[in-house]
Structure 1
């Protein structure tokens, strides 16, 4: 399969940050970040080809002549971006239209950076014509990701605007006035914003545009962006970052021993999250406050800092800062767009609430952001002032709250021993039930494997490595740590004494388990193959991509003893019929958007709706609990088993289900339950019952009305061992 690390949207940012070939971090279902990866020329683009069953990845060059359609060009990647979600955001579309019509009042040169489907370019061209303009006006659309650029040309042709918009398959910092552009542009229209605002390279893009591509004092849409924040207390958010104060060590394992409290931490950054889903679990400790203001119409600074005085509105402990931004799209201040959470959707300190649209329509392309306050938080008292220092660089923002005594993730005394994990991973490591299940199953497996077992930890589980070493002092352990590598080794060295094991019994190879050679085990045999399974870097991917454990078990078969214990014992593909109106609406087929036909993009973007059955949308990963309005319409059912005592092979399953609730079925949530033991007595679920795992979601082409006790459905699934992909099909009967 093909994945991409957020291909370029033609701008100057992040050239020096092109990552090495590796598994993409986070959710792949996002709009591509501008500037990554770089285009290799006007007719080619880089993409990352990833094998989910081995973890191997490589950069490949996609040439313009290598495809018949944009869908083929991207290897289906476009269907896993958030372009579709963004184009279905009617609030965003209307706001940009109104602002462009107010800003462009005659012939001019308009530059669209990160043009995507050409939506903003077409609105700019139409505004010139509608305002009495003629062909003296010009629109230049810059889109360096070649498959997207090809798709844009289709959209332009479908709307009869291919001669009104000049398309450039380049990054904006590769454009030259006098070579590509005839003249400097009078107007800049762009939408290169992520949930934090700066992560897609807004600042370096604007800097280069103002230096090289725009006239002095240009008009811009948007005109300004303002970021806001709010102090909150939340046990859920606290557990996502403070393992030391939430770790139940009744199993005898101390992942964050005393004196090493911050050795496992989150990366100091903002995390995008649908905070509306947490509204019942959050105590607000302040009114919203302004943090930064960024003007698009002038050259921005690469660095900024400010100190904000915040009055606490209640007694409590600040666990996090929730932030969002508000766009002022026109210079007059009459058109706005906000990503604020629903409980304060109409708030703004400088404008009346009727001017600011609400955020009732769920969308996934922009969310709120969460900044975690280190340790157990900062206590505040009602009506007392709290001071927060905020900093920003080219691509991110950082907050420091007065009264936080810990240096947090930058704790110097921990040095290279500190290990940064995603918030959900930290919460899982602190979860009492999860640890009890894994500890019980591991203890049984170690006993079954013999008095001095040779054990291989097949994934990136530091917990299992420490647990096995603590349970059996005479065991020999190889930890593959294909993602953690040297960082995992140093972490183990730091916590060894506190957990009563010796590093002499552990060998970290820092590479995928199949690279294990007989020399690594002194020509012996493996008695215990164990995994959670969890692979560092797979957190944002589909749940069955951790079936990599099965692939590794198969490749290790020659070195497994005849009675080797394998944990987990099997995986069960589970599913549940769901009502998902908000998610389905965000991925429905496009028709006309503000008067422009976008139906030609539906197939490439994996839309739901009036598409041929052979062109169904892909399974996509989501935190289901964050997907707006959701409802289960039936019981959880099993689709197929993956038996890890056998070598990896193709699997097929078919199940007939009955619906137990009336409603509109939009699709199926799909996940894997890991059965840890042969007796099927201990199971770890990655389903919606846990908010720390993403589920796969297979949306229907058309929602189906179902009646309890009357409607049935037949669901079948296929697992392809050569690709690691699972195909799910369904049919309904009344």
Structure 2
């Protein structure tokens, strides 16, 4: 069987469908994921091992056999932890076939084939019974189904199904519980990732201001969480407005409900300011007593703790629908709404609104299309006034009263800058319907729809009639293209510039005039772990597999008390 994968060609910007057969090597995809970073997470691994060992002991003390269900086993590491901790049998479920195949080899290599059965199915398809995938229900549930938002990988529906069909009532769970924490802050930097600020342009005839369309001003943005390394965020980039509070907890040893719901807490601001951002993170208790705890708390919450570097789990930035002024000592109410996979927040100030929190608020969905065209770093880039000033200085050097400009970028504000700085005529080439729509709204909001012409066409298909038979004297680009995955993919501008050569005047000015790619060799303290074989650390005797090297795969490995793992 053959499958087709759609991929954007960064050179031409075109969508290409590449044919892959059943022998497609997914190992490179896995090696480029965060599996290695996860397996390098010593704190995570040690805490899981301690929790599993404690759970097995509790079951044994009751005189029962320890039957483990490991959902999302990946390399099989957690199942092998359980087996080495004395579990009688483990069912290791992994839906991704290449990963399941790797788990089978790893389990066999480490001598646990008689105690671990790898099941290549989604957990909701697993059957229990004499002729089923599992002979009986498990009494220990082990999972690692969490992302930065905790529930984004479908942990809740998976737990819900497991409790109904795959584990015994009152089972042990590792982790035992998860707790989500929040803190209200004001941050111009983080707020600039979601809302476009007015752009100020100093022109010869006075200051001009580029404003956003009203629908973008009122747009809640996109539902996906903004996950970042808050430990890399300087303390002067945000103002704390509230103490850290617990938003909600989930007990994984009991039946879990995945249906949409909400949680509400009362906050009393410790400082007056503009509430814009909800910062959030979670921790997990591996045991019922909470003595074995793994936390994602940022540096200002746990200032005395040695922080574990993690790229597979970070912290969350949630944007409130609108910024709200809050005052020190005044009660406010923060509501977290969630569905099966995501969380979003709303702040309420007035006490009379207290009972309105139970009205379900829909997940934020972009209505203005700008959040679909621009990702959050891009919106932050457009809000960088220093960057805008550099473009203005460059344009002022080349623009003349008779300049005819063509801008080639996706959803760029350069056409507006060029018009305000005195260009005679401005065209902007947009490759997609979304960028055309967003630019059209911007031009209308700034009363420029008759001043700047939008052309929706690929560069190689541009015609003279679309340019009104004019030759381009100034070709502009930031460059920014939505098809670019890596910085050098923006060299698509060079391809586009070549494609429109016939429309350029003989003395055309091209901005940017050139590009250069710089490289340097560095030693990372932590980031190297994302794509690296594991080293050696306390309790982890790690080795890299020679057979994987011979097969020219990218190896990585992890172990607990002699358990080695690779992909």
Q: Is the Cα contact below 8 Å between 2:241 and 2:275 reproduced in 1?
A: yes
Work out which of the two has the higher radius of gyration on C-alpha atoms and give 1 or 2. Answer: 2
Q: Deviation digits for residues 328-382 of structure 1, max 9, x if unmatched?
A: 1223432111101022138xxxxxxxxxx9451222111111112355x333333
The 3 A distance-change label for structure 1 pair 242 and 507 is closer
Q: Deviation digits for residues 266-298 of structure 1, max 9, x if unmatched?
A: 435531111122242133222210112122232
**Equivalent residues in 2 for 1:372-383, closer than 5 Å:** 372-375=319-322, 377-383=323-329
TM-score by length of 2: 0.81
Give the Cα–Cα distance (whole angstroms) in 1 for the partners of residues 127 and 398 of structure 2. 65
Q: Secondary structure at the match of 1:551?
A: helix
Picking from 67, 70, 93, the partner of 2:45 is 93
Greater RCO, 1 or 2 (C-alpha within 8 Å, sep 6+): 2
> Match for residue 141 of structure 1?
92
The 3 A distance-change label for structure 1 pair 500 and 312 is closer
Q: Secondary structure at the match of 2:222?
A: coil
> Match for residue 239 of structure 1?
192
Give the Cα–Cα distance (whole angstroms) in 1 for the partners of residues 75 and 220 of structure 2. 39
Q: Is the Cα contact below 8 Å between 1:469 and 1:477 reproduced in 2?
A: no
> Match for residue 115 of structure 1?
73
> Match for residue 491 of structure 1?
438
Q: CA deviation at 1:402?
A: 2.1
The 3 A distance-change label for structure 1 pair 254 and 115 is farther
> Match for residue 239 of structure 2?
283
**Unaligned 5+ residue runs, structure 2?**
354-360, 558-567
**Equivalent residues in 2 for 1:599-618, closer than 5 Å:** 599-600=544-545, 604-605=553-554
Q: Secondary structure at the match of 2:249?
A: strand
The 3 A distance-change label for structure 1 pair 544 and 380 is same
Q: CA deviation at 1:92?
A: 0.2
Give the Cα–Cα distance (whole angstroms) in 1 for the partners of residues 247 and 418 of structure 2. 48
Give the Cα–Cα distance (whole angstroms) in 1 for the partners of residues 310 and 32 of structure 2. 15
> Match for residue 361 of structure 1?
308
Give the Cα–Cα distance (whole angstroms) in 2 for the partners of residues 592 and 157 of structure 1. 22
Matching of residue 438 in structure 1 with residue 404 in structure 2: no
> Match for residue 387 of structure 1?
333
> Match for residue 170 of structure 1?
121
> Match for residue 551 of structure 1?
495
Q: Secondary structure at the match of 1:343?
A: coil
> Match for residue 138 of structure 2?
185
Q: Is the Cα contact below 8 Å between 1:195 and 1:272 reproduced in 2?
A: yes
> Match for residue 564 of structure 2?
none
Q: Secondary structure at the match of 1:571?
A: coil
**Equivalent residues in 2 for 1:28-47, closer than 5 Å:** none
Give the Cα–Cα distance (whole angstroms) in 2 for the partners of residues 172 and 532 of structure 1. 47
Matching of residue 273 in structure 1 with residue 228 in structure 2: yes
Q: CA deviation at 1:399?
A: 0.8
Q: Secondary structure at the match of 1:325?
A: strand
Q: Deviation digits for residues 128-169 of structure 1, max 9, x if unmatched?
A: 35xxx4xxx2x2222233333343334323322344332233
Matching of residue 569 in structure 1 with residue 513 in structure 2: yes
> Match for residue 262 of structure 1?
217
**Equivalent residues in 2 for 1:399-414, closer than 5 Å:** 399-403=345-349
Picking from 22, 34, 38, the partner of 1:82 is 34
Give the Cα–Cα distance (whole angstroms) in 2 for the partners of residues 419 and 126 of structure 1. 49
Give the Cα–Cα distance (whole angstroms) in 2 for the partners of residues 591 and 257 of structure 1. 50
TM-score by length of 1: 0.64
| Number of corresponding residues | 528
**Unaligned 5+ residue runs, structure 1?**
1-39, 67-71, 347-356, 609-734
> Match for residue 273 of structure 2?
316
Give the Cα–Cα distance (whole angstroms) in 2 for the partners of residues 170 and 554 of structure 1. 50
Matching of residue 466 in structure 1 with residue 412 in structure 2: no
Which segment drifts farther, 424-433 or 142-151?
142-151
Give the Cα–Cα distance (whole angstroms) in 2 for the partners of residues 284 and 476 of structure 1. 45
Q: CA deviation at 1:390?
A: 1.2
Matching of residue 204 in structure 1 with residue 157 in structure 2: yes
> Match for residue 561 of structure 2?
none
Q: Is the Cα contact below 8 Å between 1:184 and 1:215 reproduced in 2?
A: yes
Q: CA deviation at 1:232?
A: 2.0
Q: Is the Cα contact below 8 Å between 1:110 and 1:140 reproduced in 2?
A: yes
Q: Deviation digits for residues 381-423 of structure 1, max 9, x if unmatched?
A: 3333221111111111111112499xxx9999x9557655333
Q: What's the RMSD between the two structures over aligned residues?
A: 3.7
**Equivalent residues in 2 for 1:513-524, closer than 5 Å:** 513-516=459-462, 520-521=466-467
Q: Is the Cα contact below 8 Å between 1:223 and 1:331 reproduced in 2?
A: yes
> Match for residue 640 of structure 1?
none
Report runs of 4+ in structure 1 exceeding 6 Å deviation.
409-412
Q: Secondary structure at the match of 2:86?
A: helix
Q: CA deviation at 1:515?
A: 4.8
Q: Deviation digits for residues 627-671 of structure 1, max 9, x if unmatched?
A: xxxxxxxxxxxxxxxxxxxxxxxxxxxxxxxxxxxxxxxxxxxxx
The 3 A distance-change label for structure 1 pair 494 and 73 is closer
